[in-house]
């Protein structure tokens, strides 16, 4: 096998094998560093994916709503203002102007996946002596459930809504003392009281949402809220969730609507996600630096210990470039082998943590995400770091004077 290997590779491997204990120590250090990087990266990716899933399966990526109503000051015939102070008007429940055209236009955009019209407003749910304020959401289930995954959160009944049916949250059902199939009275200022049957009960994982959120057929909500033929919002999902804010601003500049992205409505959550990503990057950076300094220190010691050997090689005709490549190969081999072992250790630790770290209800704390790209990137970066760390020792070895090295 050695016949076809270049001289630099043979010498590099021989030096590493001669200092086996030293080699094992540095490979172990690299493996631990890479293992930490793989474990932290995969775990944070899983936690982030879980957070985003919880947020985005219960709301749209972008929501289009009517623009705010603004009062205009009155003017006299000569153009002067009649009133010095203009108060902000109350925001009435109004429909989006020409909403079918806007929804059709959204569906033609390449960056929009789904567009669903919704009629939402406040109402009062009554059953016996109990009454609760609710948000009545009129939807087209076939389209809306592609955006908000209500069927995934059903705990009783199903997500099919009849013409006189309603879906309610678990907290609201508990407050009203209602179960599947019971009838409740929904009271609105426009339509008065209407009796609806509970077709299903859901749990969105949020107590406030479970207390207030309800779903009925779009036409029912339109008549009950006085929005005949109208809608209060158009919910969108987009291809790139992290570009939702940019898309929302673009839509708002083009159309007479107000566009709100999930990023702006969940600013604190998005800040936390960014902070996680930044902390993960810092962890990788500091672990990578520690690995690089470890490799550099070991190779510098190796150069000092093998000064005579290097001098003999130079006296026998070995070129400076070959000596340089020999130590660069050592750095790359140490880092590559350590990265392979570290990737395996990181993956094993993550699988064990995923198996035993559970939430209170026994469900997984985070989804297990082991992407091939993560291991490839870890190996490539570790190898590049090893080669970079070996540059200084390699240059020192290549510059050794053979006579001085042999005498020393």
Q: What is the pLDDT of residues 233-256, one digit of tens each?
A: 999 999 988 888 899 999 999 888
Residues 259-288: what's their mean pLDDT?
77
Please state, in angstroms and rounded to a whole number, the distance separating the CA atoms of residues 117 and 142: 11
Please state, in angstroms and rounded to a whole number, the distance separating the CA atoms of residues 64 and 96: 9
pLDDT of residue 1: 44
**Mean pLDDT score across all residues of the chain:** 81
Q: Please say if the pLDDT value at position 334 is more than 70.
A: yes
Give me Rg for the CA atoms of the chain.
Answer: 33
Residues 185-214: what's their mean pLDDT?
88
Q: Please say if the pLDDT value at position 12 is more than 70.
A: yes
The reported pTM is 0.64
pLDDT of residue 49: 73
pLDDT of residue 80: 59
Please state, in angstroms and rounded to a whole number, the distance separating the CA atoms of residues 154 and 161: 13
Please state, in angstroms and rounded to a whole number, the distance separating the CA atoms of residues 239 and 244: 9
Q: Please say if the pLDDT value at position 2 is more than 60.
A: no
The string of pLDDT tens digits covering residues 146-183 is 888 889 889 998 888 988 999 999 999 999 999 999 99
Residues 356-376: what's their mean pLDDT?
72
| For the ranges 2-16, 42-56, 197-211, 312-326, the one whose mean pLDDT is highest | 197-211
Q: Please say if the pLDDT value at position 353 is more than 90.
A: no
Of the two residues 68 and 338, the one the predictor is more confident about is 338
Please state, in angstroms and rounded to a whole number, the distance separating the CA atoms of residues 193 and 126: 9
Q: Please say if the pLDDT value at position 289 is more than 90.
A: no
Domain boundaries, the chain: 7-55+270-407, 99-256
Of the two residues 16 and 236, the one the predictor is more confident about is 236
The string of pLDDT tens digits covering residues 290-299 is 777 777 777 6
Residues 101-107: what's their mean pLDDT?
92
């Amino acid at each position: 096998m050695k016949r076809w290997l270049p001289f630099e590779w043979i010498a590099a491997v021989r030096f590493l094998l001669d200092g086996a204990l030293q080699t094992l120590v540095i490979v172990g250090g690299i493996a631990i560093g890479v293992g930490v990087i793989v474990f932290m990266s995969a775990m944070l990716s899983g936690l982030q994916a879980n957070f985003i899933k919880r947020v985005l399966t219960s709301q749209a990526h972008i929501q289009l709503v009517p623009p705010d109503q603004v009062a205009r000051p009155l003017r006299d015939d000569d153009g002067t203002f009649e009133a010095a102070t203009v108060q902000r008007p109350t925001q009435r429940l109004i429909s989006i102007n020409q909403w079918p055209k806007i929804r059709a236009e959204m569906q033609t955009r390449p960056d929009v996946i789904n567009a669903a019209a919704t009629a939402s407003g406040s109402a009062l749910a009554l059953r016996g002596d109990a009454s609760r304020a609710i948000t009545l959401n009129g939807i087209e289930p076939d389209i809306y459930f592609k955006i908000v995954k209500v069927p995934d959160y059903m705990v009783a009944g199903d997500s099919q809504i009849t013409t006189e049916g309603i879906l309610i949250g678990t907290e609201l059902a508990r407050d009203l003392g209602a179960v599947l199939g019971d009838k409740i009275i929904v009271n609105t200022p426009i339509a008065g009281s209407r009796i609806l049957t509970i077709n299903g009960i859901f749990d969105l994982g949020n107590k406030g949402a479970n207390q207030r959120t309800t779903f009925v057929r779009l036409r029912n909500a339109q008549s009950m809220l006085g929005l005949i033929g109208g809608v209060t919002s158009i919910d969108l999902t987009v291809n790139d969730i992290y570009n939702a804010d940019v898309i929302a601003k673009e839509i708002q500049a083009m159309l007479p609507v107000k566009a709100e992205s999930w990023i702006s409505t969940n600013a604190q959550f998005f800040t936390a996600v960014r902070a996680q990503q930044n902390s993960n990057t810092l962890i990788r950076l500091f672990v990578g630096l520690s690995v690089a300094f470890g490799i550099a220190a070991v190779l510098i010691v190796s150069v000092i210990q093998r000064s005579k050997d290097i001098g003999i090689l130079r006296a026998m005709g070995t070129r400076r470039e070959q000596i340089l490549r020999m130590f660069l190969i050592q750095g790359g081999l140490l880092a590559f082998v350590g990265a392979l072992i570290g990737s395996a250790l990181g993956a094993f630790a993550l699988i064990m943590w995923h198996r035993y770290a559970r939430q209170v209800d026994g469900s997984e704390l985070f989804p297990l995400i082991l992407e091939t790209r993560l291991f490839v990137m870890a190996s490539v970066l570790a190898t590049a770091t090893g080669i970079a760390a070996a540059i200084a020792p390699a240059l020192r070895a290549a510059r050794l004077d053979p006579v001085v090295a042999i005498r020393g």
